[in-house]
């Protein structure tokens, strides 16, 4: 058995691997770059070795540095996580030479599957259904156009060495093929140092469904069911789930059998993932195989009850699989949300900064519902420009899919992150999307549901009532508290009106009257003197001042509303709505109408960079006159 494991990775996946290693009594060694000196994975591991500058190409990607770190610390095995060196056959070979166990498949399997053209050929030989297309490298745009014509439009041009959604182009006509061929080729060259591209049929409105496989060094391969990852933005996964709401037992069996056949064809001996796209009629086609632990592996762990890292460590140390295919059962439903440091309201531009506040929702297993967080950051940490912007994976598990979605919705509502922008508001909106809730999805889902990008929702309907009630109740609690201050000057008790006018941004006012001293409290909204019908809302909670999340029930329904104090009110976050709310007495509201509005400063003479980046070129110099629309600089 492995005694000491070096984790050649960073962030959430390094932490996740360390956790299992610790549970199994295996010593752990972290490696870290200069930018990660204070990262969580460094503190979690028993030992840590510095491996160079922030840039991955000078640290996490340098095989020699990783191997000497292992030798220096006496680690007998290396887990590569995902990304970085995880699918690098040369690394696996170098470890073999150095007498260190590579926690992953044999180098031949990595090589065979690392290339999309080669792996498709292998799949076809193993009788696995592949996307109709041309199984060869395409050299010229003319050849590309001819082949695309044979396949039939639309087609997809892909980089053979591709990954992470890079180097892919869809073409609906011969002009688009010629153009897509050139851009796919150049992107492939710059991203992967390999400009080989090929063409296959573009399957319209497909679903992305992948099969988790597990093999050992004794020729056993089983599959652990599927994950559906159709919710993607620009071919990159955003939400994943297990099982797929689309598959029936028969299709699952057939896909599982093909995935196992393909794995056996390359003597696959670790955890791996066989990706398929599935059309509307449940025809499925092999896309590629990822020869590593996948980002979204937790959903499989929750529905199978297995620890995939543990399985990988066992088979890497030569043990035979302890489970047979018939022992694998899928129970319940699991959903994963990828939390990224990016601004959804500004077309998902990257965002970086300090984690001024990082308060995940309550993580627990209760009544068959589990909330799990895989992360590599903590409050006070920093999100830098150097690595992947994914900061955490929030996973929920429940007996049914809809319960898992509802739990995810609440957990996202309660997840407090301050210091930079992130995609939680976008994910929170997704959890309330009817098509998603119904499982009526495809890889085009985000493009179809958000054709003009994501605009943050404004308070409306039920959400507006909840927000107005919570804001008015917090004001009410604060008023009551002030009235209880001791040592106040003696006098007749003063009766104040309990009517408040709550402004939910943009001049939207709602009249709210909260009654009662303790929870549960009742609020009356609208009615008298307003153009809204009267309605009452009952609120129950244990919230008290200083708590970042107001958790409780509204008319019996569980809610989590984030609270940040601002002048004259609170800034609330709920269901993806983020709004500063001010609470006024009627008299104040009357005055408000005649108050001057603070004008925004004129920033037209300032250039503010919309995202963290590198200035590639500067087109102007100090003192120069410029006009609107002129290029000032280029930022990457
Ligand atoms: P990568 O290595 O970048 O993950 P994949 O081949 O797995 O590349 O494709 C990524 C995504 O692109 C898939 O999940 C799917 O949404 C889409 N895609 C890939 N090939 C096709 C195709 N032939 N037709 C339709 N969509 C495709
Ligand atoms: P509460 O504890 O009820 O919130 P406040 O001191 O905030 O009491 O007063 C509530 C409102 O009552 C104020 O916003 C103001 O409009 C009005 N108010 C309070 N004290 C006076 C006062 N001395 N003269 C006139 N209006 C007052
Ligand atoms: Mg893929």
CB 498 less than 6 A from any atom of ligand 2: no
pLDDT at 192: 87
CA angle centred on 44, ends 42 and 46, rounded to 5°: 85
> In 2-73, which ranges are E strands?
4-7, 27-32, 47-50
Distance, CA of 335 to CA of 409 (rounded, Å):
11
Ligand 1 centroid vs 165 CA: distance in angstroms? 7
Distance of CA 156 to the CA centre of its chain: 25
Distance, CA of 148 to CA of 629 (rounded, Å):
39
pLDDT confidence band for 321 (50 / 70 / 90): very high
pLDDT confidence band for 10 (50 / 70 / 90): very high
Q: Which ligand is nearest to the CA of 442?
A: 1
pLDDT confidence band for 424 (50 / 70 / 90): very high
Q: Does residue 141 surpass a pLDDT of 90?
A: yes
Q: Quick one: which of 229, 221, 212, 187 has its CA closest to 290?
A: 212
HEC letters along 258-300: HHHHHHHHCCCCCEEEEEEEECCCCCEEEEEEECCCCCCHHHH
| Contacts of 439 by beta carbon, 8 Å cutoff, 6+ apart | 245, 246, 401
Q: Does residue 605 surpass a pLDDT of 90?
A: no
pLDDT confidence band for 484 (50 / 70 / 90): confident
Is the pTM of the predicted complex or chain greater than 0.85?
yes
Residue 201, beta-bridge partner list: 155
Backbone φ/ψ region at 374: left (φ over 0), alpha (ψ -120 to 50), beta: beta
Mutate which of 166, 168, 284, 290 to test ligand 1's pocket (most atoms within 8 Å of Cβ)? 168
pLDDT confidence band for 153 (50 / 70 / 90): very high
- Helix locations, 24-173, DSSP H: 40-44, 63-73, 89-98, 107-114, 116-125, 141-151
pLDDT confidence band for 528 (50 / 70 / 90): confident
Are 373 and 324 in contact, with CB atoms under 8 Å apart?
no
Question: Which residue in 226, 228, 240, 288 is the catalytic one?
Answer: 288
- φ, ψ of residue 384 to 5 degrees: the values are -100, 175
- Helix locations, 439-570, DSSP H: 445-449, 461-483
Range from 436-445, 504-513, 590-599 carrying the lowest mean pLDDT: 590-599
Distance, CA of 536 to CA of 512 (rounded, Å):
9
pLDDT, tens digit (0-9, with 9 covering 90-100), for 109-127: 999 998 999 999 999 999 9
**Could you tell me whether strands 77-79 and 4-7 are parallel, antiparallel, or unpaired per DSSP bridges?**
parallel
Q: Does residue 59 surpass a pLDDT of 80?
A: yes
Distance, CA of 341 to CA of 590 (rounded, Å):
41
Mutate which of 477, 481, 496 to test ligand 2's pocket (most atoms within 8 Å of Cβ)? 496
Residue in the structure block whose two tokens are 């990988």: 312
pLDDT confidence band for 235 (50 / 70 / 90): confident
CB 200 less than 6 A from any atom of ligand 1: yes
The pocket of ion ligand 3, defined by CB under 5 A, consists of 275
- b/e 515-525 (16+ beta carbons within 10 angstroms → b): eeeeeebebbb
CB 167 less than 6 A from any atom of ligand 1: no
Distance, CA of 481 to CA of 469 (rounded, Å):
18
Ligand 3 centroid vs 277 CA: distance in angstroms? 10
| Contacts of 494 by beta carbon, 8 Å cutoff, 6+ apart | none
Tokens of 393: 């994976």
pLDDT at 286: 96
CB 587 less than 6 A from any atom of ligand 2: yes
Residue minimizing CA distance to atom 2 of ligand 1:
163
CB 240 less than 6 A from any atom of ligand 1: no
User: Which letter does DSSP use for residue 6 in this model?
Assistant: E
Q: Does residue 490 surpass a pLDDT of 80?
A: no
Compute the CA torsion angle 627, 633, 634, 636 (nearest 10 deg). Answer: -130
Alpha-carbon distances of 436 from 231, 402, 446, rounded to whole Å: 9, 10, 10
Ligand 1 centroid vs 169 CA: distance in angstroms? 10
Give the sheet arrangement for strand 155-159, strand by strand: 168-171, 155-159, 197-201
Distance, CA of 452 to CA of 446 (rounded, Å):
10
Distance of CA 457 to the CA centre of its chain: 20
- φ, ψ of residue 21 to 5 degrees: the values are -60, -45
CB 209 less than 6 A from any atom of ligand 1: no
Residue minimizing CA distance to atom 2 of ligand 2:
479
Are 144 and 138 in contact, with CB atoms under 8 Å apart?
yes
What secondary structure does DSSP assign to 238-249, as a single string? EEEEES-SS--H
Residue 540, beta-bridge partner list: 553
CB 483 less than 6 A from any atom of ligand 2: yes
Q: Look at residue 552 and give its three-state secondary structure.
A: strand
Q: Does residue 506 surpass a pLDDT of 90?
A: no
Active site annotation includes 288 = yes
pLDDT, tens digit (0-9, with 9 covering 90-100), for 379-388: 999 999 899 9
Tokens of 609: 């960079």
Neighbours of 461 (CB within 10 A): 7
Q: Quick one: which of 237, 236, 235 has its CA closest to 170?
A: 235
Distance of CA 575 to the CA centre of its chain: 17
Residue 133, beta-bridge partner list: 200
Percentage above 70 pLDDT, the chain: 100
Distance, CA of 369 to CA of 302 (rounded, Å):
10
User: Which letter does DSSP use for residue 474 in this model?
Assistant: H
Are 271 and 313 in contact, with CB atoms under 8 Å apart?
no
CA angle centred on 85, ends 382 and 109, rounded to 5°: 145
Residue in the structure block whose two tokens are 């089983």: 222
Distance, CA of 220 to CA of 267 (rounded, Å):
9
Ligand 3 centroid vs 493 CA: distance in angstroms? 70
Residue minimizing CA distance to atom 4 of ligand 2:
479
pLDDT, tens digit (0-9, with 9 covering 90-100), for 159-199: 998 887 788 999 999 999 999 999 999 999 988 889 999 99
Range from 159-173, 333-347, 484-498, 607-621 carrying the lowest mean pLDDT: 484-498
Distance of CA 90 to the CA centre of its chain: 30
Half-sphere exposure of 179 (CA within 13 A, CB side): 7
Distance, CA of 16 to CA of 7 (rounded, Å):
10
Residue minimizing CA distance to atom 9 of ligand 2:
496
For ligand 1, what atom is nearest to the CA of residue 443? 16
My answer on whether omega of the bond before 243 falls inside 30° of 0, hence cis, is: yes
Q: Does residue 515 surpass a pLDDT of 80?
A: yes
- Over residues 313-319, the mean pLDDT reads 98
My answer on whether omega of the bond before 211 falls inside 30° of 0, hence cis, is: no
- b/e 533-544 (16+ beta carbons within 10 angstroms → b): eeeebebebebe
Ligand 2 centroid vs 586 CA: distance in angstroms? 11
CB 232 less than 6 A from any atom of ligand 1: yes
Half-sphere exposure of 26 (CA within 13 A, CB side): 27
Residue minimizing CA distance to atom 13 of ligand 2:
585
């Amino acid at each position: 058995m492995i005694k000491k494991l070096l984790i050649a990775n960073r962030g959430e996946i390094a932490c996740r691997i360390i956790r299992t290693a610790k549970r199994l009594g295996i010593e752990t060694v972290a490696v870290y770059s200069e930018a990660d000196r204070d990262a969580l994975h460094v503190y979690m591991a028993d030992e840590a070795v510095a491996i160079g500058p922030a840039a991955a190409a000078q640290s996490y990607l340098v095989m020699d540095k990783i191997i000497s770190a292992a030798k220096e610390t006496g680690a007998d095995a290396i887990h590569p996580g995902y990304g970085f060196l995880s699918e690098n056959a040369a690394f696996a070979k170098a470890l073999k030479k150095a007498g260190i166990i590579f926690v992953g498949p044999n180098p031949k399997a990595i090589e065979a599957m690392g290339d999309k053209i080669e792996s498709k050929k292998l799949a076809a030989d193993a009788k696995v259904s592949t996307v109709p297309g041309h199984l060869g490298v395409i050299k010229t745009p003319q050849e590309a156009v001819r082949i695309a014509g044979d396949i039939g439009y639309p087609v997809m041009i892909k980089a053979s060495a591709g990954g992470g959604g890079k180097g892919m182009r869809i073409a609906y006509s011969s002009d688009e093929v010629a153009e897509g061929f050139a851009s796919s080729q150049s992107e492939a060259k710059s991203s992967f140092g390999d400009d080989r591209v090929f063409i296959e049929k573009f399957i319209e409105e497909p679903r992305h469904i992948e099969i988790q496989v597990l093999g050992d060094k004794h020729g056993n391969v089983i599959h652990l069911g599927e994950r559906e990852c159709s919710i993607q933005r620009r071919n990159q996964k955003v939400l994943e789930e297990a099982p797929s709401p689309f598959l029936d037992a028969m299709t699952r069996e057939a896909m599982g059998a093909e995935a196992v056949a393909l794995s056996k064809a390359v003597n696959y001996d670790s955890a791996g993932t066989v990706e398929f796209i599935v059309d509307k009629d449940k025809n499925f086609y092999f896309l590629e195989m990822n020869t590593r632990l996948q980002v979204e592996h937790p959903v499989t762990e929750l529905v199978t009850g297995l620890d995939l890292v543990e399985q990988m460590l066992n088979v890497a140390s030569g043990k035979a699989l302890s489970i047979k295919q018939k022992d694998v059962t899928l129970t319940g439903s699991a959903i994963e949300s990828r939390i990224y440091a990016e601004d959804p309201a500004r077309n998902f531009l990257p965002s970086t900064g300090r984690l001024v506040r990082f308060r995940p929702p309550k993580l627990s297993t209760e009544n068959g519902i589990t909330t799990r967080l895989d992360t590599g950051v903590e409050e006070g940490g920093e999100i830098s420009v150097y690595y992947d912007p994914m900061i955490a994976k929030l996973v929920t598990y429940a007996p049914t899919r809809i319960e898992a979605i509802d739990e995810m919705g609440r957990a996202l509502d309660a997840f407090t992150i301050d210091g930079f922008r992130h995609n939680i508001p976008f994910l929170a909106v997704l959890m309330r999307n009817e098509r998603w809730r119904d499982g009526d999805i495809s890889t085009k889902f985000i493009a179809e549901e958000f054709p003009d990008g994501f605009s943050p929702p404004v308070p409306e309907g039920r959400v507006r009532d909840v927000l107005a009630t919570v804001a008015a109740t917090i004001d009410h609690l604060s008023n009551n508290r002030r009235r209880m201050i001791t040592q106040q000057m003696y006098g007749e008790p003063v009766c104040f009106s309990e009517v408040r006018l709550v402004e939910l941004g943009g001049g939207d006012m709602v009249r709210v009257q909260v009654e009662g001293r303790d929870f549960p409290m009742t609020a009356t909204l609208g009615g008298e003197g307003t153009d809204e019908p009267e309605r009452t809302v009952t609120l129950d909670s244990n919230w008290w001042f200083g708590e970042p999340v107001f958790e409780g029930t509204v008319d019996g329904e569980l809610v989590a509303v984030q609270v940040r104090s601002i002048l004259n009110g609170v800034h609330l976050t709920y269901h993806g709505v983020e709004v500063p709310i001010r609470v006024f007495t009627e008299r104040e509201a009357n005055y408000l109408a005649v108050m001057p509005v603070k004008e925004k400063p004129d920033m037209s003479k300032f250039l503010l960079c919309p995202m963290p980046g590198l200035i590639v070129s500067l087109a102007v110099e100090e003192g120069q006159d410029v006009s609107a629309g002129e290029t000032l600089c280029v930022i990457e």
